[in-house]
Structure formats: structure tokens, C-alpha cells
Structure 1
Amino acid sequence: MAGLNKDTPTPESLTVHGQSRVLEVGFSDGKTFRIPFELMRVYSPSAEVQGHGPGQEVLQTGKREVTVVEIEPVGNYAVKPTFSDGHDSGLFTWEYLYFLGAQQTELWADYEQRLLAAGVGRDDPMPEKLGHSCGH
């Protein structure tokens, strides 16, 4: 099983660029994406970021300088990065990495719009967590 969807291109190369803070992923369809760690972190597929349902997303701030300190494979379908802020609960499937890479421009615009709507800045610290029920 190469991915969650049989039509999803699979990674042929995966390179963590620590200094420029990007994950470079080369896919089987010939496309290569340079996905900023910050984008990965603010769009992490984890429940901590996405919530447990629509409307429960947690807007992430203060992640511009985040790095990936470790990345480990999960089966043949995903990777699990550990970020420098301690976040490590997101499983990035090949399909999701392809989505992040292909939709970067739209995702950045959406993120900036959500920051504006919330009245917070990209570099503002995350507010203290108040009793989140899933333990993260």
C-alpha cells in the first residue's frame, strides 16, 4: 500500500532542509515541492490542530521559526515529524504532503485571512491551553 488512494503519487525523495526550514518532497509524477516547516506545523493533521470536528480547528501562531527535529516513517503511507516546539502527533500521509505542496499559495492566503479574522499576528505566542479534553 503506497498511499491512502491508489492514484496518489508517492514520494521518491524526502529531504529535510534544516537551515531553510523546508521539507523537500519529490513525487512519482515528477513534481517536487518545498514545503515550509511553518506551513506543515500550522496545518498539521493532528487533533491538537484540526480539532475533533468542523469548527474546532485551533489557529496556530508563533510557528515561523519552528524546525523539524526528527522525522520517522509510518508504514508505507506517511511520515511523523517531531517539531522543535514539541508537537509530534500529526501523521502526514503522502496524499496530505502532496496537498500541502500543491496548494501552498492558497493555504498561506487562508492562514493569513484566519489570523486577520482572529485579530492575532503570525508571530504572536500561542495562548495557554485551557483543559483540552483529548490530553494534548
Structure 2
Amino acid sequence: MRKQHALHNESLCDHLLINGNYNDWVVTSAFYSALHFVYHELFPLVVANTTYLSFDDYYHTEIIGKNKRESKHRVTVDLVYYHLAPCYFAYKALFDMCMFARYNNYRTTPRKAKVAKSHLDVVKRQCPKQ
């Protein structure tokens, strides 16, 4: 299901990139596509002899259950760092670009939109699980 969601978001990203009028949403859809590719690749995840079937299982047990206060996005960035290192830079860059585009300034240049798509391509290549 996660991979289908990733592909759906990627399709939107491609459509918006061609359109050229919504570069902030190119960045946003690229990031959320990458997020779903990463979740599909990571889970099920085994940590210290415990198998987590989904990100939500992991987050509620390892973060909320241990009274940690970290956002789901920050936890995902950390998981990518530790378990999918080859795409960490691209994923982290997408995360940062998305947070800026969504929350600080919706005006995103066409160049940044293309860079976001190239980062998504890197993440997708590093997440080949069918």
C-alpha cells in the first residue's frame, strides 16, 4: 500500500512539474512520495529482536511509549539515516525543502522544483523493494 501511495504522489509531482505553476507543491509531493517509498522499504523493521510491521507501530512503541517527544518526521529522518544511508542526503534535503515551501514561503523556484524531483529519484532508486 505504501508503495502505491508513493507512486501516486510521484505521479502528481511529475504532473505539477510539467505544469510549472505550483513549484511549492512539486516539492511537497516529492517529499511525501519519498516518505512513502522509505516506509515501504523500511517496514517491517526489526529492532532489538522486536519486529515493527509499520511506522506507526514503531513510533507508538519506541517514541510515544518511551515518553520521547519527537515528531514523526524527525523520527523518519533518523530511521533513514540509520537504515537507508545511501538516500539520507536526498531524503533530508527533501524534508528541509518541503518544510520551507509549506511553512515559510510558498514561492518556490522552478530550479528548486527540479532539484526536489531529482532528490525523489535518488530516494526511489535506493528503495527498490517490490
Return the structure number with greater strand share.
1
Which structure exhibits the higher relative contact order, with contacts defined as CA atoms closer than 8 Å and separated by 6 or more residues? 2
TM-score by length of 1: 0.23
